[in-house]
Amino acid sequence: MGRDPAGGDAFVFDLVDDDAVSDGMPDDLSRAGLPRPEGAADGGPDDDSEPRDGASGDLVVPTGATRWLRPLAPVAAVLAVVLGTSFALDGVRTAEQLDRIREVRGGVADLSSPLTEQWAWDGAVGASGFEAYSGSAQVAVLGDLLVFVSDEELLALEPASGAEAWSIPLGDRPDCGPTGYPGRSDLATASVVCLQGAPEEREVVVVGPDGAVSGPRTLDPADTRRYGAARPGPDGTVLRARRVGDISAVDLGDAVCSPAGDCSGTVESGREIMLRAEDAVTGAERWSVTAPFVATPAGECNPWQAGAWGDVSDPGGGDPLQPDAFGARIGGDLVDLHGCGANASVTPDGELLPRAAAPGASGIIGLSTGGYLASGYDSTTDTVVYTAAGEVLETVAGYAVEADVVDGSGLLLSWDEEAPGVHAYEPDGTPRWDAREPDAFQFAAEVGETAVVLAAGGEVRGLDVATGDRRWTLDIASGSDGESDDRFLFQAFTDGRHALLLLHNETGRFDLVSLDAVSGDLAWDVPIADVLGPVQDASLVAVGGRLLAVTQGSVRGLG
């Protein structure tokens, strides 16, 4: 597959791996119901003809495929749609296929061969202070640009070159969003809202994909006193939140915390959280919701655990048990409240989504199809499937998840102790199939007709999306250093044919593993240290079909 997706360059996608050719015809063609080309049986995996030069305008195809592929040129566009995998003719598909993979969350142009560092940008990345407590950098994907706060600027980088597309000077105490941590939230946003200035002179501006900035609006201190501190929100909003209700509503129950922050017991009741969204440009209210207090383990009421809504530099003071402590992870698709009694998330349109289990033991995630999943972190917990508008579609048994990266239908897989095995559902919760597979796994990727899952013991398995039948098994227990160990999924990406897995083991080593999702063949497996050198704490993010490695002190382009 051609590496460089720059406009106008040749971009070549493999149709099948040699090992997947059967009787001169790939399995994908047979399943698609397409006619077998005349003489196709004469070709096959032993054909050692070489790919043609992409610049000549002739077909560029994988070794062993030339005999049966040449007659298919007139239906190239049809094949690309029917197969749903990386397939094209040089000079025919480039723009459409690249546009499609750019739209896939986690879509990267080419993962067929080991990645190398193409460029490096050094400097502060993301928020400072408490919001950066995890060691990860907060960024956003704005159009085809990587955007983040760097010192007192909002900066946008071109993913192909690392060049600065634009920068916006910011004032004191900048707070821009929605942003997120790569691999933990959806980073895509249509605009970035930035707050700046001292608390009593706070201003807000809205930045678009081309770097255009709205006129600054000064926030009214009276609104802060009435509705709470301001934070940048999704869909061009400013969010405000505060506890409401009488302090007498607080019942600590048997909750207790030591001075060191070790907590036990349950806070039985407390005050509600009111969340308000106002238009960032005009200040007009868009919506307001109130999240009820839910009985909460005392550990979730520790301010260092709960976070602080209004102050991005201070987690909340010295008392280790604070029933009013709360914070939020604000993404482009969800405002996820967390803290003491906080057990709900809110959509960008203001719909309140209750979680399926207790605070600290449950969460809500956005789906590629636009809906949401609410589930606990225990396999005995049911999962609630919501529409994008927040309506309950279905409740499915067990802990259901979508793949980390989806280039397909948006299949949901679950497992639960009551019915061991893997259970598949449509994105709306309709049952699809059950399979006798291990009930402990990670759903890495859905690539075309294959669901790529990691099972315990170091196996990657490809399951047929339509039936659940196992298509292939790949043993990855032996890492890139040859030692056998368990490796766990951290992130996943796809180019429409390959699945790239960022894996880590118990010793903290990270590896990049690329495999062919159709055949299950290993494409390559290298330690991330071989790609990034000493920078091994990076998270990866796909931007405009490119893969970037992000730390708090650098961004590196891979290709």
Residues ≥6 apart with Cβ < 8 Å to 304 = 261, 315, 316
pLDDT, residue 356, reads 76
Query: CA nearest 335: which of 312, 352, 360?
Result: 352
Query: CA nearest 18: which of 522, 525, 519, 473?
Result: 519
d(CA 465, CA 414): 14
Query: CA nearest 26: which of 77, 83, 106?
Result: 83
Query: CA nearest 16: which of 5, 3, 29?
Result: 29
pLDDT, residue 313, reads 45
d(CA 91, CA 9): 9
- Write the DSSP string, 409-449: S--EEEEETTEEEEEEE-TTS-EEEEE---SSEEEEEEETT
Q: What is the DSSP letter of 9?
A: S
Quote the Cα angle for 369-375-381, to 5°: 140
d(CA 406, CA 448): 9
Q: Where are the domains of the chain?
A: 18-103
Tens of pLDDT, residue by residue, the chain (559 residues): 444 444 433 333 333 343 433 333 333 323 233 333 333 333 333 333 343 333 333 323 232 232 222 233 333 333 333 344 433 333 334 678 778 888 898 999 999 999 999 999 999 998 654 444 445 689 999 999 999 999 889 999 999 999 999 999 999 989 999 998 887 778 999 999 999 998 889 999 999 999 999 999 999 999 999 999 999 999 999 999 999 999 999 999 999 999 888 899 999 999 999 999 999 999 999 999 999 999 999 988 987 766 678 654 444 556 789 899 898 889 999 999 988 999 889 999 999 998 877 787 788 999 998 999 998 876 567 899 999 999 999 999 888 999 999 999 999 999 877 778 899 999 999 999 999 887 678 999 999 999 999 987 778 999 999 999 999 999 987 655 555 567 789 999 999 999 999 998 777 788 999 999 999 999 999 999 899 887 767 899 999 999 999 999 999 999 9
pLDDT, residue 87, reads 37
Alpha-carbon distances of 538 from 31, 137, 335, rounded to whole Å: 40, 9, 25
Residues ≥6 apart with Cβ < 8 Å to 267 = 250, 251, 252, 253, 255, 295, 296, 297, 298, 301, 321, 323, 340, 341
Side by side, the strands of the sheet bearing 153-157 are 164-169, 153-157, 145-150, 140-142, 188-189
Tokens of 195: 């707050």
d(CA 324, CA 247): 9
Bridge partners of residue 492, in order along the sequence: 501
d(CA 477, CA 494): 21
- Report yes or no: 296 and 360 within 8 Å, Cβ to Cβ: yes
pLDDT, residue 403, reads 95
d(CA 171, CA 213): 14
Alpha-carbon distances of 4 from 12, 372, 545, 559, rounded to whole Å: 10, 35, 10, 8
- Write the DSSP string, 90-120: TTTSHHHHHHHHHHSTTBBS--SS---EEEE
Residues ≥6 apart with Cβ < 8 Å to 444 = 403, 404, 405, 452, 453, 454, 460, 489, 492, 499, 501
Stated length of the chain: 559
